[in-house]
Structure 1
Amino acid sequence: MQWRNLYRGFFMGISDLIPGVSGGTIAFILGIYDELLASISGFFSRNWKKHIGFLLPLGIGVGVALLSLSKVIKYLLENHHAPTQFFFLGLIIGVLPFIAKQADVKRNFKAGHFLLIILLGVALASTAFIKPLDATPIMVLTGSNAVGLFFAGWAGSMAMLLPGISGSFILLLLGVYSTAIGALANLNFPIIAVIGAGVIVGFIVSSKAISYLLTHFTYVTFAIIIGLILGSVVVVYPGMPTGGAAIALSIVTFIAGLAVAKLFSSPNKASIVNK
């Protein structure tokens, strides 16, 4: 068992509670992105036993974060929104040099790659101006809303694995975020189970697709990832806070985010893909 994945999963779980912050980005920061994709894809095969040692501690860490910190994250976003968002901005921006090094951008990127980065960055950034659906949180599970919650979990989980796209933000756009965060905070297990089932299916599908792209279209995929991460900066940016104390705290949390990204994005880490 890779028990150090407990803390890695914990960090990924925290990120998945924040609209605009991607668990895939955190996996990149922690240097486990390729192994995460391979383990999710391989777990649902005949060789599932060799992947459980990686996934089980990771899943426990994610679950502990989701169940224990949903109320904390809700409090921070409601009462200290800007400093919280600036911390994650630091994380997101801080991982870009690591990804650029992995892709060896100077040597491998052509004009088309940079154009793809710009197009995807602008496309994702534009979602910051989309008004999320206003939806009353679902408290009681029925046959009709279960289908919608399942597919919302599916869509959210596919986004979770892509660096730069937040699963929570997708749930927000679909009008399901308040239902999901409320179910976690109040331990509404039927709703958690339905959304969770959609998440599992989404993980299976997207992990195989992303692994294929990284193997066969490595630098195009890196360009896509970089574009999505750059676009997510606009989505996460909360605007400049008002008041000297809030500005100072936001600067501190931003620097802390950069430092955490630098700490985990060691230049000595193994390559994300075998190029």
Structure 2
Amino acid sequence: MSRSTGNYLLDVLRGGLMGTAEVVPGVSGGTVALVTGMYDRLILSAGHTVTSMKLLATDVPKGRGTERAAQEFRQVDLPFLLSVLAGMVVAALTAAKLVVPLVEDHPQRTFALFFGLVLASLWVPYSESGRRWTLREWALAGVVAVVAFVLTGLPPSEIADPNPLLVVGVAAVAICALVLPGVSGSFVLLATGIYTVTFNALNDRDLGYIALFGLGAFLGLAFFVKLLQWVLEHHHRLMMVIMTGLLAGSLRALWPWQPWESDSRELQAPSGDVPMTVALIVGGWLIVVAIIVIERKTRAVHLDNPTVAPIEQPNTDSTRS
């Protein structure tokens, strides 16, 4: 069924929100994808794309695999994927110049807004998991949350001239964080010491560094996105439980009251501009609540009226039992 121009513009906007989120340490683009209702579809389309490219690179030169590659590619929602990627690239380039300075100049207020956004986002994977959780699922989410809490508390470092192999390796890990809600790709760059040099290269259009980073990102996606695709298709409920734990643990990195003037990640009691900070937390929470309500109502409209082009919701019902 055909989709309207408005649908594609909405996909570009969602991609833009993901790209903006990924340049800020502690904020996950995967969280944005989850909240805006496109996470499953994005991972599944990316997974089929990776499989198709792999078949083209390995089987076709040997005289086989053309039909298999074409079959995989037909399952990719290419207009949707290209719209999201276009929004991500443009927003990342813009945010590197606009959002990052804002975070550096006003960290407490900026992270207060992000804290509210992610706090409200906890409802999304929890509700998508289906029926009530068992004690074992609560325990699993708790363990994942603790691990995320500890990892996001690691002090940052900085490397002025990173080794090319380090750039490729970190990019591979960071791009996996991009598609994993609750895990920030920028935080991975910060923790491994190449955050500043990476965004300086992006701002300065350092094509050599960008090419190295792109190679690592491609390798990371090629291996990781297929794993995510398989888990979403076969263990959707388990994936939602893990995502809930990741989001909960990642709140540690977004706590507004930290010693921003130093490299310490010590959590502090509320102080300073408390009223405005709390107001921004509530504002971020309300923004996500509004997005969730609109997305759910829109989905209900499409279910009640099948003549309207459907919102991008994959068929995962069989995996939620």
User: Normalised by the size of structure 2, how large is the TM-score?
Assistant: 0.77
2:19 is aligned, of 13, 22, 35, to 13
The structural deviation recorded for 1:62 is 0.7
1:74 is aligned, of 74, 91, 100, to 100
What is aligned with 2:193?
175
What is aligned with 2:10?
4
Runs of 5+ consecutive residues of structure 2 not aligned to the other structure: 53-68, 258-268, 300-310
What is aligned with 2:63?
none
Identical columns (%): 26
1:40 is aligned, of 46, 61, 69, to 46
What is aligned with 1:141?
none
2:28 is aligned, of 22, 29, 41, to 22
Once structures 1 and 2 are overlaid, which stretch shifts more, 205-214 or 76-85? 205-214
Q: Which has the higher contact order (CA 8 A, sep 6+)?
A: 1
The structural deviation recorded for 1:256 is 2.4
One-letter amino acid of the counterpart of residue 12, structure 1: M
Contact between 1:137 and 1:178, CA under 8 Å: does it hold in 2? no
What is aligned with 2:141?
117
Q: Deviations over 1:143-195 (max 9, x none)?
A: xx222211111000111111111111111111111111211222222212211
For 1:11 and 1:28, the matched residues in 2 are separated by 12
Root-mean-square deviation (Å): 2.0
Q: How many correspondences in the alignment?
A: 265
1:259 is aligned, of 275, 283, 286, to 286
Runs of 5+ consecutive residues of structure 1 not aligned to the other structure: 139-144
- Secondary structure at the residue paired with 1:151? helix
Q: Kindly name which structure, 1 or 2, has the bigger radius of gyration based on alpha carbons.
A: 2
Once structures 1 and 2 are overlaid, which stretch shifts more, 127-136 or 162-171? 127-136
Say if 2:172 is the partner of 1:129: no
Contact between 1:15 and 1:26, CA under 8 Å: does it hold in 2? yes
1:85 is aligned, of 104, 111, 125, to 111
Contact between 2:14 and 2:36, CA under 8 Å: does it hold in 1? yes
- Secondary structure at the residue paired with 1:3? helix
For 1:256 and 1:39, the matched residues in 2 are separated by 33
Contact between 2:174 and 2:217, CA under 8 Å: does it hold in 1? yes
Contact between 1:43 and 1:52, CA under 8 Å: does it hold in 2? no
Once structures 1 and 2 are overlaid, which stretch shifts more, 226-235 or 206-215? 206-215
The structural deviation recorded for 1:20 is 1.2
What is aligned with 1:225?
243
- Secondary structure at the residue paired with 1:21? coil
For 2:161 and 2:202, the matched residues in 1 are separated by 12
The structural deviation recorded for 1:261 is 1.1
Q: Deviations over 1:15-72 (max 9, x none)?
A: 1011111111110011000010011112231343643211111111111111112121
For 1:206 and 1:51, the matched residues in 2 are separated by 19
Contact between 2:145 and 2:246, CA under 8 Å: does it hold in 1? yes
Contact between 1:124 and 1:228, CA under 8 Å: does it hold in 2? yes
What is aligned with 1:206?
224
2:255 is aligned, of 216, 225, 237, to 237
For 1:241 and 1:76, the matched residues in 2 are separated by 21
Contact between 1:153 and 1:196, CA under 8 Å: does it hold in 2? yes
What is aligned with 1:195?
213
What is aligned with 2:276?
249
For 2:169 and 2:140, the matched residues in 1 are separated by 28
What is aligned with 1:142?
none
For 1:51 and 1:110, the matched residues in 2 are separated by 35
For 1:251 and 1:178, the matched residues in 2 are separated by 29
